[in-house]
Structures are given as C-alpha cells and as structure tokens.
Chains A and B, each alone.
Chain A
C-alpha cells in the first residue's frame, strides 16, 4: 500500500525533503472529541523534538499515530520522504521507530535479558553482551541478569530504551519520561538522550514540563485542543511564553496568605504505622509517623510506587488492616484505624482519590447520583429513600460554586473532561465541610486553568483552619502550596521538612534514599 509519493510536490513544506518523519494534515476523531485536527509535524534527523501540550491536547494520540497504534482518519505520514502506512506497531518498528510508554511493559518476574529476549532473536549470552555494549555507549547502565522487580524506575526505563535500541533505531518516542523519575535521574536520562541524538537517533519527546523542554529539546511543537499552535525553538522562549502558547491565554497565578497559627492538636496523626503488603509487588509501609494540624498543608512527595497507593488507602479507610491498632490512625483525636471510609467521613475527614473515574466517581452515573456517593449523610435520605430534591440542589450548588463545565446534574461523570470532573469531586468533598482533607494527586491530568483553581481552593481552605494532606508526584505543585513536606521512599517516610527551607535536590536525595537517615531507615525496612 505504501505507494511512493513525489516529495517535490509544491504543496509540501520544503522541510519535508530532509525530515525523518513528517505528518501532514493528520486528523483523528473520537466520538466526543477531535484529538488531532489537521496536524503537521516534521521531525528532523538527529534532533530532540518536543511535543508540548496540556493533558487532553492530543499529544498521546499523535504519538500513537506515529507508532502505528492508532490509524488516522485523514492525512498522510511520510518516512524519509516516502509516504507510508502504519497499520500496526510492527510496521513502525520495521521502519526504525521505537516507543517507551509512561507505563512500562516489562515482566517483573523475569530478568532484563529475558524480557528483551521476548522480542529479540539471539541467545541470552549474545543479548547480554549487546545490552552491556549499548549500556556503555549511551550511559544506560543496567545489569542484564537482574530481575526487573528489583530495579528502580529509572533502571526500568533504561531497559525499555535499550530494548528499542537493540533494533536499528532511527526515531525514539518517549511519553512523559520524567514523570516517574526523581530529579537526580532526570539528568542522567537527559545525558543519554543527548548521546543518542549525537549518534543519529531522533527523539520525539512528549511532555508538559516547560523547563525540561527548554533544557533538552531543539524544537518544540505545541498542541492545543488538537491543533498545532506553534513550532518554536524552546531555548529562545521563556517558560511563560511557552505556557501561553500551550494554554491560549495568560496563566493565572495563585496567592495564599502566610500561614496563620495552626491547631494545637493534630487533626490527623499516624503513629508507628506499619503495614505489610500481601502483594509481592506492592510496597510495605514501615513505621510511618505523620502529623497534620489544622491550618497547614502537608505534602507527601516521592516517586510513584513507593507506597503512596498503600498509604492513601490506609488513611482513607478503603483498606482496613485488622492487625493495626485503632490508634495507629487518629482522626480528630479519635482512634480511626478500624473505621470504614463512611465512618471516617463522619469524624470530619474527606478524601479525593487520584483516580477520578471508577473510584472518585461512578463513570456511567449522573453527577447527582455521584453526589450521593459520599454526601448521603447531608440530608439526602429519608429512612433510606432518596430525596431527589436535596440531591439535585447539592449537585447544582457544587456545579455552580466550583465552575464545573457540564450539561447539568444529569450529565454522566464520564462525559466530563478530567479537569471538570476533578473540580466536581473536589467540590463535592469540600461541600462536606471537612476538618481534615486528604487529596491524592490533586491536579493529575487537569488543565492549567482548573489546576490553578483547585490549588487556590486548597490555600483558601488552609486559611479557614482545615488540615490538608496532599500526595503528589509534581514537585512544583508541592513547593507551591505546602508548608511542610515528607518524602516517601520504599514505604518509609522521611522526617518532616519545612518546604521553605528545601530545594528540589534535597527532596531528590530523600527520594532515592541517598540521605544520611536512609541508612537507619533501610535497617527498618529489612526488619519488616
């Protein structure tokens, strides 16, 4: 099907003759949105090309098109000047295109070389040798015999990149590669990527982090609502200019007053909380101590998969550990370790989970029924029967006050955009008037406008004396709104750190366990 197409066509931009990969007028429509709307893109050989955009701007769809995971509804793809079809990923790999996803596709129980031998011919010894050679050449060191589950996230990412490099790679696509890495590992990733570029591998780099794009990339194509809003040299633009291209208007800033006095007793107190994980790939929590007072925002930083999930579920009551003493978790000075989420809400606790669809909200149910999910104690029931008036009023008030863009209380949760649904869930929980609010990843997958609004809400809430705990992987966010920070690493929590006295690098040290205190903490780890 890949008919040759004369690359001297007058309607083509001149760049195309030299470009490695060119996309022309690519359009991809999904039932509810146009993910890509007549997108043009030229990736030059030996360059690092950023695709910049907010969540939902169409970055991922574009990358999936380039990797053959999704077929365009209209438009053409050119590879080294020739028109090609990419009906599947095998076709893309054959051309020399490789991709590393945000979520890795490695078997945890197998070793590195075993994982790679699943997709590569050759016996294990030659493969091991190749892995070592590639590792040395590009500074992507990894032990081929190590089991994947024993590797850090950074090492796993290296394995994924090496797997792409084992083939004759010309274009490497990376989807938000730094979102899973601690700051220290980001630099070594960038070194490796630069080395790759100098060895004639082009890199397509998807991100929404402006600073790292300015540092690393030669060209940036910016997407907004499926359309290209500009192709620029990121080094020549300020982060603010890039953000404006990305969002379409000036980015609002948030303001919080200096923290007032905090409450005397903590609203949330975790004392020597240890929970063993039954999942072999889960994280055991060991000896966690944490205080959150009214009138302060405490953050938990860390690379994902270090126990955040487990800790969140223990604090929220979604997992109740029978071995835990009730007073290992104290909410509003009451032992709560044995209480289920509904009972904890009655104490003044409220929780916004990181997964909005399927956990924070029931996808096919209308917003009104989703209000019932946690707010049913707010006069919504009459001897168990639903009071639709009260439910609808609550929902309408939440929609209005929190600026949720939707068709009304009868709109289903899955018809809302990520940002709007998050505003709705946060609103629903805030309308419960909690004394203690726990938010996991408050602005994950949320556009900048909604993220700013949510952060502002949290700051306002702190002024009114609410205790707020935030788990986030976005360091910038934590620096922006928290008063104190803990870093979680391997299921243990660092001591309390004052945010104003920290640099990202300090946190990075704790994230990878390089800090002095990590020695004693790893001792605890083994004891469990």
Chain B
C-alpha cells in the first residue's frame, strides 16, 4: 500500500476551517503524553492554558494587552509573506522602534507636553521603518537574502539596546539596573480601565487591521503584491515592480513593528528595558501563518496565541511547568497546523497495488 498526495482542483473550504481545530487537538494530544511522562497534572495544565485566562476581568485585559502587538505585527508581516518577502526580523524592527520612541522621554525627562506621545509614536514608526529599510536596500541593490539580513539585524538591534541600557541611557538612580528612567505619565498611553495595564494603544492594531483588509482585498496595491508573490513572471509581465514590492512590504512591517515597540515602552513597561519585545516579533510570524496570511484569520490567530501566552504564564505557576514545556506546546501547535494545512490544497490517496490475475482485459 502506498500513500500519495494529489493536488486538489479547488482548495477545500471545509479543510480550511477544520485545520486549526485539528491542529489544536493534535497538539493537546501529544503534549498530554509529554505531560504524563513529565509527571505533571494534565487536566490542570490545560485548564491553566485555556480556561484560567478567562476566569477574571484582569486576565482578560491581559489577553488583549498581548493581542495588540501580535495583531499589529502579524498583519504587516502577512502582507510581506504573501508577496514572498521573507521578513523575519520584526523583532529587531520592534526593538529599534522602542529605542527611537524612548529617545523622547529619555532626553525630555521633565516635559509634560501633550505632544510627547504623538512624537514618540512618529519616532517609533520611523525607527522601525528605518531598520527595515536597511534590509530592503540590500535586497534591491545587491540581492542580499532578506531572511538572513533581517535576522542578523535583529541581533544587532538587541546589542544596540544593551549598549544604550548599560551606557548612555542608564537610569542614574536605578541601582545600576540596565534600564532607563520610568517615563512620565504624559509619555504613556492612558489605561482603558482603572487598575489594568490594557491601554488605548489597543485601537491602533484594530484600525491597522481594517486598513490592511481594505488594502489586500479591495485595493490594486494589495493585488500587485499578491501577484508578485504568486507568479513573479506575471508581475514582471504586467509591469509591477518587484523592487517596490520589497520596499513596501518591508517598510510596512517596520512601521507596524516600530509602533508595537513604542506601545510597549509607552504602555505596560513604562520604560526602556532589556525585555522590551517579549518575543512578539517572532511570535507574530507564527500568528501570521496560523491565520493563513488572511487579515480576518490573523485576528483569531493573534487572540489564540495571546490566550496561549497568558495561559502559559498561569501554567508556569499553577501546574509548575518549566518554561520550555510552554514553548514545546506552542511549537507543536505550529507544526501540526502547517502539516494539517497541506490537506487544504492536497488530498491523500491510498494506492493499492494493481492486481493482475483477477482482471480480465476486454478487447
């Protein structure tokens, strides 16, 4: 008996919807086995992952706090991925955005101007775009692989961050901790509700998502990018510039990641410190693919991953899981998703060997 994958004539809509459900089920199944082997409580673990995050108002707002930057970056990355521009350095673009935005409160420690926040927003966006522009320039000018360039630029961005925090930007009153001063209230987004960390910056990703949806589904610019990704020769034939596609994809991602970085330092963190990104730049890649690169799908994916991260934090404490177990579960989820996604476009066929002796040929 042989197995063969046949390409479907039309992709299967049913499979497309079933894919995340199957992936989650398989990931839960496999990690249950791992949990049993680790002698950890299985039910308590999944309770912490999927139920506990919704058990009180505060942790629901915490989900949305994670949801925001994931959504923002993933939407922008998905645009690039559909154009086959592989920017995996949103992490670095986010760090630089956080740094450039922090420059305002770091140098204007005493300012109480209402323009502080807008200035930080603009500087954060420009910082992210500038960092992404390096990769775009190297790609379009020297055909340097953007995967490598963006990845390496992320390492460089991290070193720049460390340098600033250990050197010129270190809070002089901060007991030598590698972090800047706490920013003044005027440099922070106002909280949405009393006593929670969720703030008004949550509206940025939501508006951005609407914009991306319009751009990709209704606008010629999105069409051009998708054509460039699906059939580069057809894009050249039509006269769509591949360089423009590289530039716009990377600048858009830099813009989104820069603002995400800014919203972190002007939001839950309130200062520039080493763990400014919480790995959002990398998680957003997972979100983009989990959402099938579709603006609507990405909303669900970002929410799901946010739940998973909050749930992971809970599980760390309540089920006494090691942090790596959380990462393993998240990794399993992505692997199973990608494997299951194959069946949206392909169909499994079982081939039995031909039996000769029984079939009489008819002339």
Contact = CB atoms under 8 A, between A and B. Distances in A.
Interface of A: 1, 3, 5, 11-13, 24-25, 31-32, 40, 72, 74-76, 83, 316-318, 340-345, 351, 353, 355, 358-365, 369, 372-374, 376, 381, 384-386, 415
B231 A359 contact: yes
B40 interface: no
A307 to B, nearest CB: 19
Interface in B188-245: 214, 218-221, 223, 227, 230-231, 233-234, 236-241
5 contacts: A11-B360, A31-B6, A40-B363, A358-B231, A385-B214
B218 A365 contact: no
A312 to B, nearest CB: 10
B234 A362 contact: yes
Contacts of B233: 318, 355, 358-359
Given A12-B361, A31-B9, A76-B361, A341 B223 contact: no
Contacts of A343: 239
Contact of A341 (B214, B238, B362): B238
A362 B231 CA distance: 6
The winner among A12, A317, A365 for most chain B CB atoms within 10 A is A365
Nearest to B354: A74
B230 A364 contact: yes
A363 B239 contact: no
Given A74-B359, A415-B9, A373 B234 contact: yes
B218 A317 contact: no
B227 A341 contact: no
B327 interface: no
A341 B7 CA distance: 33
A78 B41 CA distance: 63
A384 B220 contact: yes
A83 B356 contact: yes
B223 A372 contact: yes
B357 interface: yes
A386 B219 contact: yes
Nearest to B232: A358
A96 to B, nearest CB: 22
Contacts of B360: 11
A342 B244 CA distance: 14
Contact of B238 (A373, A385, A386): A373
A141 to B, nearest CB: 38
Contact of A384 (B221, B236, B240, B356): B221
A316 B237 CA distance: 8
Contact of B362 (A11, A355, A360, A376): A11
A372 B222 CA distance: 12
A31 B361 contact: no
Those 6 A-B pairs whose CB atoms lie nearest each other, nearest first: A342-B239, A341-B239, A359-B233, A362-B231, A340-B239, A373-B238
Contacts of A32: 9
Nearest to A346: B239
A340 B356 CA distance: 59
